[in-house]
Amino acid sequence: MTSTATVAPPHTPSTTPRARFSSRISTNRFGLLLVAPVVLLTVVIVIYPVAYSLWISLTSSNPITGRSRFVGLENYATALGSGEFWRTLTLTLFYVVCVTVMGTVVALGSALLLREKFLGRRVLMALIVLPWALSTYAAAVVFRYVYSPQFGFSAAVSERLGLDPSNILAQGSVIPALALVHAWQFAPLGAYFLLATLQMIPEDLYKLAKVDGVRLMGRFRYVTLPYIRLPMAIFLVLIGGQAATAFDLIYFLTSGGPGGSSRTLSFFIYEETFQNQRLGSGAAMSWILLVVVVALTVGYYKVALRVGNRDMKEET
Amino acid sequence: MELTRRSFVKRMSFAALAAGVGGPVLAACAGPDKGAAAGGAVLKAPASGTGTMNMRIWGAYPEFVKERAREFTDSYGTKVDLGVVAGDYPSIIQTQLRQNQKLDLFYGLGHLPKGWNTAGWLHDYERFWNKDKAEAEMLPVVRDALTIDGKLIGLPYFAFVNGALFANKQVLATAGLDSWPTTYDELYAQVRKVKKSGASDTPYLPSFWSAPYYGIPFGFVQEAMNRGMPMFGAGGKPEFDENSGGVVDMLGQWRDLYSENLVPKGVLTFQESDWIETFAAGGIAYSPQLQYDLRTFNDPAKSKSAGQFVAVPQQGQKWGMMHMGIYLTGNNGQSDEDLAQAYSMAEYFGYRDRKSGEFVVPTKWAAENNLTQGYAEVNNSPTVEKAVRAWLPDADEQWPILKDYMADPQYAKGLYHTDWALEWVSEASRQLPQAVNGDADIKKVVRTLREKAEKLIEEYGE
């Protein structure tokens, strides 16, 4: 009896059909699938709320009465035709200018100081960042006591000097007073931004400028400034945008008072939306604020670039 | 584990399926439409506690509330999820109500529930098993305030006079004053005398603070009402105007107080804590304050002139007006069982302990913190009287004065029982400081406030 042994080929090709998925999904599609969750999240977290707020701004609704209707651009027209809106917008712009100027001066001054080598520089570097590390609420509480004409730091200083304690949060001075706190808190960020750039400027440039007889201000103008223009522009955009949308500091320190003297557009939007439940009006004003912030940002960049181009022309 | 295209796509398919199922599930969690549990027969008190009820409060004495909540859990079995809401309490709670969030029991103030009830965000207490008994025991002004659209809207958390006129005896003695003012005109005349005598540089601390619990609008309404000026009629109709003297003259007096530096600088940006601390620091002759803070002012740990602060008697004209906190229950479509548990918790905190039949929590509030209650039986109880007399200066003279404040106070029902009271007081908190500091013409401010009320009536209806 003979037997026939069947010998299987050593490498039989697999007869298993290829996976359905892989045959249908190309590498590009697979890539798209990978980013799909992020896209989905972006749609849910960013695009949908933004689109929804745009829709709300075109409606007039009152949750108490339950009435809701489409009003088109009426909320925008009402806001733009309201004296209160322009008053709060003007206050906002004033606040932005104050915060930006104060913040930039403090940030630049701190950065220039920290670039120098002196005893205790490292300690000072750590101290300067402290305001930035504070929560806005804590900063507001601190400055309530600093500004208080009854038992505040400023009152104590005034008394020592034999002066009458003044009300720093009075209607005429409340915006600069608030801006000072805001700048105090935000300036450390700018200081570190600028310091990083300042440390990259070759020391030889300053030496050459000195040899050429360029004075201190001239060295700042022709050596330092060209280097820090870009980080400065970024800082200005950041601090300007932050100031334009500031809310928490104002809420904790003055609640928009006295009598609306520190009622910026952000605060007005908060009141309309959350206290008065006028979602349409609040959303419309938010969009107008967005336009203002974008305009400010573009304006900052244009000015920075224009000055930069002018300097380049002068150099050539 | 290696991630292949196949395994990734499979997992994503499961995720998509889960999301498809999860969406409706989450939607279902939002609860049925408003009003599903509204109306119906009177509920029975639950035999035992089940599950967890949430309670939202503002930041006053959270430890005290926490302790009472623990006692409630021990006694009734229902767990309490207690949350302290920081910041702009009315706006935050209003937003949560609008979003249909679960709010079993939460604090409210007198001017808040009318609009919330109109919106269908609240459960009234018509189905509360002890509703009739509780109503019968409430002070008449409290019962009236808590009855909205003919229904009991909640149970009282506290009831005291906002704007009770307090005096610092030490300052008055230094100024040589020995008689109490009986009207606002006399009060302001005395304030000037105190300043002239040199006993105080800023002898008066008014309710001019504007944030965030509406100090100045409350001060405005209460002083006008106490002076006998018509303010708000039925349906919130404004009865004041810029042409008939009244409030215009009153605001003129306020501006004089401010411009003559009779009031502390910075008062317009005070917060409630500044208002209390400044008076407690001494050196001020008179101040309209929250009645319950009399204990704070006479507490040596919190006040520099403890033992010197007393309430000015009401001799014809009243000082201040009734101010009340309310326990409210949100309507998020909960079942009758859950509603009964919420009522049970409200009953324990805002009425009698069902097991002992005593006013347990209200009495503790009044005795330990001088937080007077919406029930005469609590406020006049021997326990509370003994506790108050222990710290009250000139107790034999002062105890009847404090009782008199609570006897028949003013209440701004015409304003508070409108759907738009919150919006009007917000506007008033911005307008009135401008009348005081001279930023705006007084007549214009009064006209703006009247027009605001008229516009709101037009929008909301009477």
Contact B65, B369 (CB under 8 A): no
Nearest neighbour of A167 by CB, restricted to B266, B281, B439: B266
Reading the block at residue B156, the tokens are 């009282």
Q: Looking at CA atoms only, how far is residue A201 from chain B in angstroms?
A: 47
Q: Looking at CA atoms only, how far is residue A38 from chain B in angstroms?
A: 13
User: What is residue B80's three-state secondary structure?
Assistant: strand
B-chain CB neighbours of A271 within 8 Å are 426
B-chain CB neighbours of A64 within 8 Å are 115-116, 118-119, 419-420, 460
- Is the pLDDT at B340 greater than 90, yes or no? yes
Beta strands in B248-293 (DSSP E): 286-290
Query: Computed from CA positions of residues A154, A155, A156, A158, in that sequence, does the dihedral angle turn out positive or negative?
Result: positive
Residue of B nearest to A248 (CA): B87
Q: Looking at CA atoms only, how far is residue A225 from chain B in angstroms?
A: 41
The pLDDT, as a whole number, for residue A161 is 86
**pLDDT bracket for residue A306 (50, 70, 90):** confident
Nearest to B145 by CA among B328, B316, B268: B328
Average pLDDT over residues B112-117: 95
Q: Looking at CA atoms only, how far is residue B430 from chain A in angstroms?
A: 4
Task: Judge if the upstream peptide bond of residue A258 is cis by omega within 30 degrees of 0.
Answer: yes
Residue of B nearest to A170 (CA): B266
The lowest-confidence range among A19-23, A121-125, A189-193, B410-414 is A19-23
Say which DSSP state B204 is in.
B
Residue A200 CA to residue A98 CA, distance in Å, equals: 29
Average pLDDT over residues B263-267: 90
Residue A231 CA to residue A300 CA, distance in Å, equals: 12
Q: Looking at CA atoms only, how far is residue B422 from chain A in angstroms?
A: 7
Average pLDDT over residues B337-358: 97
Residue A262 CA to residue A253 CA, distance in Å, equals: 10
Q: Using alpha carbons only, what angle is made at residue A237 by residues A308 and A286, rounded to the nearest 5 degrees?
A: 140
Test the B interface: residue of A85, A273, A275 with most B CBs within 10 Å = A275
Question: Domains of chain B (ranges plus CATH)?
Answer: 52-160+323-387 (3.40.190.10), 162-322+407-460 (3.40.190.10)
B264/A21 Cβ within 8 A: no
The pLDDT, as a whole number, for residue B36 is 38
A254/B211 Cβ within 8 A: yes
Say which DSSP state A5 is in.
P
What mean pLDDT value characterizes chain B? Answer: 90
What mean pLDDT value characterizes chain A? Answer: 87
Dump pLDDT digits (tens) for A15-45.
555 555 555 788 888 899 999 999 999 999 9
Average pLDDT over residues B398-416: 95
β-bridge pairing B321-330 and B155-168: antiparallel
The pLDDT, as a whole number, for residue A312 is 67
A-chain CB neighbours of B277 within 8 Å are 151
B265/A167 Cβ within 8 A: yes
B440/A259 Cβ within 8 A: yes
Give the up-direction half-sphere exposure of residue B242: CA atoms within 13 A in the CB hemisphere: 12
The lowest-confidence range among B36-45, B244-253, B264-273, B343-352 is B36-45
Residue A296 CA to residue B400 CA, distance in Å, equals: 63
Contact B73, B80 (CB under 8 A): yes
Q: Count other Cβ atoms within 10 Å, centred on residue B439.
A: 17
DSSP element (H, E) containing B151 = strand B151-152
Residue of B nearest to A19 (CA): B6
- Is the pLDDT at A53 greater than 90, yes or no? yes
Residue A23 CA to residue B38 CA, distance in Å, equals: 58
On the 0-12 / 13-18 / 19+ scale of CB atoms within 10 A, A170 is middle
Residue B182 CA to residue A76 CA, distance in Å, equals: 52
Dump pLDDT digits (tens) for B215-260.
899 999 999 999 999 999 989 999 999 998 899 999 999 999 999 9
Q: Looking at CA atoms only, how far is residue B54 from chain A in angstroms?
A: 23
Contact B94, B422 (CB under 8 A): yes
What ipTM is given for this predicted complex?
A: 0.82
Test the B interface: residue of A150, A159, A167, A281 with most B CBs within 10 Å = A150
Contact B135, B304 (CB under 8 A): no
Reading the block at residue B375, the tokens are 């029930």
Q: Where are the domains of chain A?
A: 84-315
The pLDDT, as a whole number, for residue B244 is 81
On the 0-12 / 13-18 / 19+ scale of CB atoms within 10 A, B277 is middle
B460/A64 Cβ within 8 A: yes
Strand-pair partners of B190: none
B439/A149 Cβ within 8 A: no
Percent of chain B with pLDDT over 90: 82
Domain A84-315 -> CATH class: mainly alpha
A-chain CB neighbours of B96 within 8 Å are none
The pLDDT, as a whole number, for residue A22 is 55
- How far from each other are the two terminal CA atoms of chain A, in whole angstroms? 103
Nearest to B452 by CA among B236, B252, B199: B236
A-chain CB neighbours of B433 within 8 Å are 257-260
Residue B462 CA to residue B454 CA, distance in Å, equals: 10
Query: Computed from CA positions of residues B217, B223, B224, B226, in that sequence, does the dihedral angle turn out positive or negative?
Result: positive
% helix, strand, coil for chain A, step of 5: 70, 5, 25
Test the A interface: residue of B209, B331, B430, B459 with most A CBs within 10 Å = B430
Dump pLDDT digits (tens) for A245-297.
999 999 999 989 898 899 999 999 999 998 888 999 999 999 999 999 998 88
Q: Looking at CA atoms only, how far is residue A81 from chain B in angstroms?
A: 17
Residue of A nearest to B265 (CA): A167
Give one word for B40, left, alpha or beta, with left for phi > 0 and alpha for psi -120 to 50.
Answer: left
- The radius of gyration computed from the CA coordinates of chain B, to the nearest angstrom, equals 25
B-chain CB neighbours of A150 within 8 Å are 264-266, 274, 278, 281
Nearest neighbour of A259 by CB, restricted to B90, B278, B437: B437
Q: Looking at CA atoms only, how far is residue A162 from chain B in angstroms?
A: 16
User: Which residues of A lie closer than 8 Å to B, measured between beta carbons?
Assistant: 19, 21-22, 25, 30, 33-34, 36, 62-66, 144, 147-151, 165-167, 169-171, 174, 251, 253-261, 263, 271, 274-277
B-chain CB neighbours of A257 within 8 Å are 210-211, 268-269, 429-430, 433
- Is the pLDDT at B321 greater than 60, yes or no? yes
The pLDDT, as a whole number, for residue A17 is 54
CB–CB contacts below 8 A, A to B: 124
User: What is residue B421's three-state secondary structure?
Assistant: helix
Which residue type is seen at A306? R
Q: Looking at CA atoms only, how far is residue A275 from chain B in angstroms?
A: 5
- Is the pLDDT at B31 greater than 50, yes or no? no
